[in-house]
Amino acid sequence: MNSPLFSDAGEVIKYYYDIAKEKLDRGEILDTLSEEAKEHVEIAVKESEQNKGMIAVLLTLFCYKIVSPSQDIRYHQANMAGGFAGRTVDAKYITPFLKEQDFPAMAESGWLTRAFEHPMPYTLNYPLSMKKKALAKVFLSLIDKVECKGEKPDSVILYMLQLLIKQRDGRKIQLHRPHTLTISQIISLLINHFTYKYAGHGASRLPTLALYAAYQCMMVEMSRYSDKVLCPLESHTSSDSQSGQIGDIQVNYPDGTAFEGVEVKHLKRITPELIEHAYSKFSVCRTDRYYLLTTANMDGADREGIEATVKKIKNSHGCQVIVNGVYSTINYYLRLLQNPSDFIDKFVTLLEIDEGVKYPQKMAWNELTDTQI
């Protein structure tokens, strides 16, 4: 395949993305790779959600090979003789592009995955440790095929991008919005959704979204919140200290100071230490209430220690700290609403737009709602 000259890897991946998209729109699938290379690309893309770093590193290497054909891409660090700064190229061009296109992507670079950081070339003997051993062979074999066996890097990039596009577009699913569920059915649905056996990450975000959806409803209906402001949800990966918020959910007074905060834990018991840590975040605020809520079973929890810590905070600060379960709290909130189906609408909208929610959680929601409708 003839291609223009490129000044950087960012130009390469954008150029081949456009070609891959155009060919898919015409119903064409690239078929110029060896069968083994095709199989390895298919495996890499299939496993990309749980192995985001691998996709980023492979695309970086192959895009750079097109920018600099004489470069031995196995030498992926600048401190290696004849090497180049693969991580820098990835962080500047490839990972931002993957995130922009809603492909599986690391926060900053695929090289943040420790397995790819060893200061050794990616030869077939590279000590790559991955949970699925077959993936190590796929990764090293693809690099070897391009660098040593004559496999064309542009063909690998195109096929990989076509599969990523198909995978992404196939996952844009319409989420169910059941409006005839009773409160007990809603709670049962949430329990099943939160505790579904997911292969990857994303489940821990769900209780926070459900509670936030309940708050969105209560801000409209309850007089307690009539003059208050519900703060936007922060990213699942940002800490409260970075965001400036006192919890996962925060309601403010009109002047912007914290009125109420909620810390949400998934499958983790609340302890006196967790309460003390929460207090360190709101101790300088005139916070009225602070909730520590969990989906974990609190049988066997240090109730005496929890009560003592809550009392100490009440006496020294005045804030009412409430330790409770996520499900019982949502159940109570739903009973306060005129129309609990509003909660479903808001929760599903959050599932659709929140970056912390992955495809498996969306598919599980539809699967579980099918049994409820």
* Per-residue confidence (pLDDT) for residue 238, from 0 to 100: 55
- What does the pLDDT read at residue 108? 94
Taking residue 107's Cβ as centre, other Cβ atoms within 10 Å add up to: 10
The letter for the amino acid at 220 is: V
The secondary structure of residue 238, as a DSSP letter, is S
pLDDT tens-digit profile of 21-54?
999 888 887 778 999 999 999 999 999 999 999 9
CATH 3.40.1350 positions along the chain are: 183-372
- Those residues of the chain that have pLDDT short of 70 are 1-3, 199-201, 236-243, 373
pLDDT value of position 3: 66
pLDDT of residue 239: 54
CATH of 183-372 among 1.10.3470, 3.30.1490, 2.60.40, 3.40.1350: 3.40.1350
Helix (H) or strand (E) holding 211: helix 206-221
Question: What confidence score (pLDDT) does residue 315 get?
Answer: 98
What pLDDT does residue 171 have?
Answer: 74
CA-nearest of 313, 220, 323 to 262 is 323
- Say what the pLDDT of residue 237 is: 54
CA distance 301 to 319: 22
* 48-103 pLDDT tens trace: 999 999 999 999 999 999 999 999 999 999 999 999 999 999 999 999 999 888 89
